[in-house]
């Protein structure tokens, strides 16, 4: 029997073309929760590279519930189109887009990591 890694997997009616998964990572690159070119390049390269399932970073459902100020968000209508753009591109490459929703609780919405914040200001 061959490896199952590159075989399709169907879960609740969604077929993932292979079992190579990009897990959610904290990128701290959103501004006011909006996905941007960083997210397109970061996630798009995994789609182009053949991953079957690609998660965005944890995406906050409330502004106050972000893990950091640089997290993706879905607390306003302004967040919809940038996330849809990511999903369309990922799908166009044959992968399945996914999203981890989150809320950091009462201690949420801390500052971004210093190194990433400094990099973002320069570029």
- 112 in any annotated domain: yes
Q: Which pLDDT tens digit goes with each residue over 60-115?
A: 999 988 888 899 999 999 999 999 999 999 999 999 999 999 998 876 766 655 55
What are the distances in angstroms from CA 52 to CA 29, 77, 94, 111, 122? Answer: 24, 28, 7, 33, 34
121 pLDDT exceeds 60?
no
Asked if residue 68 is part of any domain, the answer here is: yes
Question: Using an 8 Å Cβ cutoff, are 44 and 85 in contact?
Answer: no
Tell me the Cα Rg of the chain.
Answer: 16
Query: Residue 2 falls within a domain, yes or no?
Result: no
Predicted TM-score (pTM) of the model is: 0.84
**Pair of tokens at residue 76:** 């306003």
1 pLDDT band, cuts 50/70/90, is low
How many domains, the chain?
Answer: 1
**Where in the sequence is the domain holding 64, given as residue range(s)?**
18-116
Residue 63, domain member (yes or no): yes
Read off the pLDDT of residues 32-43 as tens digits, 9 standing for 90 and up.
999 999 999 999
Instruction: Let me know how long the chain is.
Output: 123
Q: CB–CB of 60/95 below 8 Å?
A: no
Q: What CATH number is attached to the domain comprising 104?
A: 3.30.750
In a domain, 6, yes or no: no
Answer whether residue 55 is part of any domain.
yes
Rounded Cα gap, residues 113 and 25, in angstroms? 14
Q: Is residue 39 part of a domain?
A: yes
């Amino acid at each position: 029997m061959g490896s199952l890694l590159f075989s399709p997997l169907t879960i609740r009616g969604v077929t993932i073309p292979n079992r190579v998964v990009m897990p959610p990572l904290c990128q701290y690159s959103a501004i006011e929760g909006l996905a941007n070119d960083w997210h397109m390049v970061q996630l798009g390269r995994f789609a182009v590279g053949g991953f079957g399932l690609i998660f965005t970073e944890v995406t906050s459902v409330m502004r106050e519930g972000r893990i950091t100020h640089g997290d993706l968000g879905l607390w306003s209508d302004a967040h919809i189109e940038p996330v849809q753009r990511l999903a369309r591109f990922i799908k166009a490459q044959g992968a399945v887009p996914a999203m981890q929703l989150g809320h950091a609780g009462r201690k949420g919405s801390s500052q971004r990591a210093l190194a990433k914040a400094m990099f973002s200001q320069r570029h």
